[in-house]
Amino acid sequence: MAQQQLDVLSVGDVVIDAFIRLLPDQEKIEYGKDGQPDLSIPFGTKIPYDFAEIIPAVGNAGNASVAFAKLGLKSGLVSNIGNDDWGKDILKALDKAKVDSRFVHINPGQKSNYHYVLWYKDDRTILIKHEEYDYHWPRFRIIDIPKWIYFSSVSQHAMEYHDALSEWLDGHQPVKLAFQPGTFQIEAGVRRLRRIYIRTEVLAVNREEATTISGGRHDDIHDLFDRLHQLGPKIVVISDGHAGAYASDGTNRFKMPIYPDPKPPYDRTGAGDAFTSTFVAAIMRGADIEGSLLWAPVNSMSVVQKVGAQAGLLNVPEIEQYLRVAPKSYHPERLS
């Protein structure tokens, strides 16, 4: 791929997902003492499954990079892979999706990240293992500097990587940052990632994450917005499952319903990534938070109709077509 100045450079771990479609009559969901659902599988025996499918170049940042490219943005990825066949498959998938992979570092003698997705009905449990790479922020020429950085999940072994990114952002003030924190980044706490939150243009989290990060009240969306804005982000978007999503630019706040599913979801993997990356892509293309809220649920709806996080991603004309046929109830509602 010819080198070009990028609209957005996604940063985060990239993986291969091996989907294993479980049979509904072989497993079941049980609820433990904590009230949370557990996937129950018979132990010590052989269990048939429906089928398996291997999907390369996924993960929060990988999914976002492909969504951005699909939406007409010049998109690249900063990540790490091993020098194995899995790594080669990841690079091939990125190239096919028109994602610039020049900043994907190949680590000699190491494996690429490989996860197993136990897919039961329309949801899944993922077995994860992050390889311990030596994370280094890349050196950029002037032509390499993107307009946006989209930062998401990285390994717990990469905390110093956040400092390197913060230093680089401090020296490149025109570059805007979108932050979709992953599990380890949320566990690290806002004090450890204070510089990242201060620098963030768009922060995207779900309601539970918003509560954990901010220490606010789960049932009070305004309290969550107030606390998250105080950390530094100019725009905050909070997804809330079937209840829809909320967005705030510090002055205006809106609630947005989900886009109606044309049929029951097939696989929910990647719905959050599709929503967040599409919201950010709309902002990048000049939309306000109302316009971005119109776009994001459409791509999320489409993704859950296919296997994996990328097969259902839409381009701009396809999103616009869904908006033309959307029900009258599908619009942002201003919050008082």
Q: Give the model confidence (pLDDT) of 147-163 as tens digits.
A: 999 999 898 888 889 99
CA angle, 311 as apex, 308 and 316 as ends, to 5°?
A: 135
The pLDDT score that the predictor gives to residue 187 is: 94
CB 131 within 8 Å of CB 113? yes
Task: Locate 111 and state its tokens.
Answer: 């494996």
The pLDDT score that the predictor gives to residue 17 is: 95
Taking 70 as the threshold, does the pLDDT of residue 2 lie above it? no
The pLDDT score that the predictor gives to residue 156 is: 82
pTM beyond 0.85: yes
**pLDDT mean over 60-77:** 97
| Mean pLDDT over the full length of the chain | 94
The pLDDT score that the predictor gives to residue 266 is: 86
φ, ψ of residue 19 to 5 degrees: the values are -80, 130
SS3 of the chain: CCCCCCCEEEECCCEEEEEEEECCCCCEEEECCCCCEEEECCCCCCCCEEEEEEEEEECHHHHHHHHHHHCCCCEEEEEEEECCHHHHHHHHHHHHCCCEEEEEEEECCCCCEEEEEEEECCEEEEECCCCCCCCCCCCCCHHHCCCEEEECCCCHHHHHHHHHHHHHHHCCCCCEEEECCCHHHHHHCCCCCHHHHHHEEEEEEEHHHHHHHHCCCCCCHHHHHHHHHHCCCCEEEEECHHHCEEEECCCCEEEECCCCCCCCCCCCCCHHHHHHHHHHHHHHCCCCHHHHHHHHHHHHHHHCCCCCCCCCCCCHHHHHHHHHCCCCCCCCEECC
φ, ψ of residue 246 to 5 degrees: the values are -135, 150
Q: Give the model confidence (pLDDT) of 193-226 as tens digits.
A: 999 999 999 999 999 999 999 999 999 999 999 9
Residue type, 277: S
Q: How confident is the model at residue 1 (pLDDT cuts 50, 70, 90)?
A: very low
Q: Is 184 exposed, middle or buried (0-12, 13-18, 19+ CB in 10 A)?
A: middle
Q: How confident is the model at residue 123 (pLDDT cuts 50, 70, 90)?
A: confident
Taking 90 as the threshold, does the pLDDT of residue 290 lie above it? yes
Taking 60 as the threshold, does the pLDDT of residue 177 lie above it? yes
> Residues 6 or more apart from 33 whose CB is under 8 A from it?
none
Taking 50 as the threshold, does the pLDDT of residue 185 lie above it? yes
Beta bridge partners of 20: 52, 118
Taking 80 as the threshold, does the pLDDT of residue 23 lie above it? yes
The pLDDT score that the predictor gives to residue 155 is: 85
Taking 80 as the threshold, does the pLDDT of residue 4 lie above it? no
CB 276 within 8 Å of CB 64? yes
% the chain with pLDDT above 70:
99
- Structural domains present in the chain: 8-15+57-115+129-334 (3.40.1190.20)
The pLDDT score that the predictor gives to residue 144 is: 86
Tokens 């003698």 locate to 109
Interatomic CA distance for residues 119 and 18, integer angstroms: 10
